[in-house]
Amino acid sequence: MKSRLLIVSVLVLTCTGFGAIAAQQQSDHSEYVDYMFVFGAKSGSVEGDTLTLNGVPNVVYFSGRPYRMAGQMDADTFVKVWSDGKDGFSKDPPNAVLSMMGDHGAFNVVVELLSVKAEGDAVSFKIRKLDGELKREFGEAALFVDSL
Amino acid sequence: MRLKLTLAVILFACLGVQMSSAETVINKGEAATYLYAVAAKSGTFKDGKLELKDAPLVVYFTDVPHRVAGMLSLEVFAQGWDKGPGSLRADPPNATLSYMENGSVKSVIVELSDPNVDVDKASITFDTRVLEGELPASFGKSTLFLEGSGTELYQQ
């Protein structure tokens, strides 16, 4: 592993810079870049069709090869990306995996995300459950959101 | 320090920059490299100690063909530091710390060693050497990115 030469680029965005990704994707169709967005949370709850994550410091994103980028944005920026994107999330709701810490390791629930709101360090989503059992309240959790 | 590991930080302020320089050199048959991210609400840097506060957990991600993503508690992540033949303790990793300042993102490249977790504060502290950039005494929302071989460290 150490003999491997590995170059990782960390893409750093300004708050308004996320459009760069969309521009890049459109400019090179042969190498479409997929992103995964991750929300780490201190705790969370589900009430009706609303999933709320609390204590979310920021949103981390990763891309696959060949670009291998990683970066962060604040939740407000993610909300903007959600609604602004030309082929945005709002038109084609993404699937996501909510991974929660349980007594015997992490367990997962697959959901579809229909809308998003951010307020302070809380982020809430309207969701539709696809697979697994949601708990009303839970502790540390990460929500992995598929890219478009 | 991992001499063979280059973290290229690309500051990205304008639109449409091609990222072809970011191509990786990885043989397909090799084990997965894990990218770990520790997101925190705030942090401090004092006397060579970097502390990330209100960090709920560590998320990780691997590249194709492995395509694994998951999360670890701070404690499990810190415990894994010593494990495996190529442990992170034996060969301290480089990392990029990205933090928000006045609405824009800044990055610093550091070398990390000796993680310590305070469970009550949800904080993790590293002995830290700054390799590139400047680390402020305190900062807000931030994410620490580092690479390691999760295969040895965390999989049972």
- Highest mean pLDDT: which of A5-19, A24-38, A76-90? A76-90
| One-letter identity of residue A36 | M
Instruction: Give residue A16's pLDDT.
Output: 32
Q: How far is B135 from chain A (nearest CA, A)?
A: 16
Instruction: Give residue A25's pLDDT.
Output: 39
Percent of chain B whose predicted confidence (pLDDT) is above 90: 47
Could you give phi then psi for residue A12, rounded to 5 degrees? -110, 125
Q: In chain A, which ranges are E strands?
A: 6-13, 35-41, 43-47, 50-54, 59-63, 69-73, 95-102, 105-119, 122-131, 137-138, 141-145
Instruction: Give residue B105's pLDDT.
Output: 87
Q: At B44, is the secondary structure helix, strand, or coil? A: strand
Percent of chain A whose predicted confidence (pLDDT) is above 90: 47
Q: How far is A10 from chain B (nearest CA, A)?
A: 5
Which residues in chain B touch residue A69, judged by CB atoms under 8 angstroms apart?
19, 22
By Cβ distance, the residue of A55, A65, A70 closest to B145 is A70
pLDDT band (50, 70, 90) for residue A115: very high
Question: What CATH number is attached to the domain comprising B92?
Answer: 2.40.30
Which residues in chain B touch residue A10, judged by CB atoms under 8 angstroms apart?
7-10, 96, 98, 107, 145
Q: Which segment of A59-63, B16-20, B71-75 scores lowest on mean pLDDT?
A: B16-20
- With CA atoms as reference, the chain B residue closest to A63 would be B63
Q: What is the mean pLDDT of residues A56-68?
A: 80
Structure tokens at B140: 């807000």
Query: What's the number of domains chain B is made of?
Result: 1
Instruction: Give residue B91's pLDDT.
Output: 84
Per-residue model confidence as pLDDT tens digits over B101-156: 888 889 999 999 999 999 999 999 999 999 999 999 999 999 999 987 654 455 43
Q: Per the domain annotation, does B20 fall within a domain?
A: no
Residue A9 has pLDDT above 70, yes or no: no
**Edge-to-edge order in the sheet of strand B138-139:** B69-72, B58-62, B34-40, B142-148, B94-101, B104-118, B123-132, B49-53, B42-46, B138-139
Structure tokens at A81: 């990306």
> Global pTM?
0.75
Q: Which segment of A79-88, A125-134, B4-13, B21-30 scores lowest on mean pLDDT?
A: B4-13
- Name the residue with higher pLDDT: A118 or A69: A118
CATH 2.40.30 fits A34-145, yes or no: yes
**Positive or negative, the Cα torsion across B135, B52, B147, B99?**
negative
Residue B15 has pLDDT above 60, yes or no: no
Cross-chain residue pair B8–A10, CB shorter than 8 Å? yes
pLDDT band (50, 70, 90) for residue B16: very low
Residue A19 has pLDDT above 80, yes or no: no
User: How big is the A-B interface in CB pairs under 8 Å?
Assistant: 189
pLDDT band (50, 70, 90) for residue A32: low
Q: Domain locations in chain A?
A: 34-145
Residue A138 has pLDDT above 80, yes or no: yes
By Cβ distance, the residue of A5, A140, A142 closest to B25 is A5
Q: Per the domain annotation, does B13 fall within a domain?
A: no
Residue B31 has pLDDT above 70, yes or no: no
- With CA atoms as reference, the chain B residue closest to A59 would be B39
Percent of chain A whose predicted confidence (pLDDT) is above 70: 71
Instruction: Give residue A87's pLDDT.
Output: 60
Average pLDDT in chain A: 77
Per-residue model confidence as pLDDT tens digits over A117-131: 999 999 999 999 999
Question: Range of B131's domain?
Answer: 33-153
Which residues in chain A touch residue B24, judged by CB atoms under 8 angstroms apart?
6-8, 65-66, 68
Which residues in chain A touch residue B121, judged by CB atoms under 8 angstroms apart?
none
CA angle B147, B40, B51 (to 5 degrees): 80
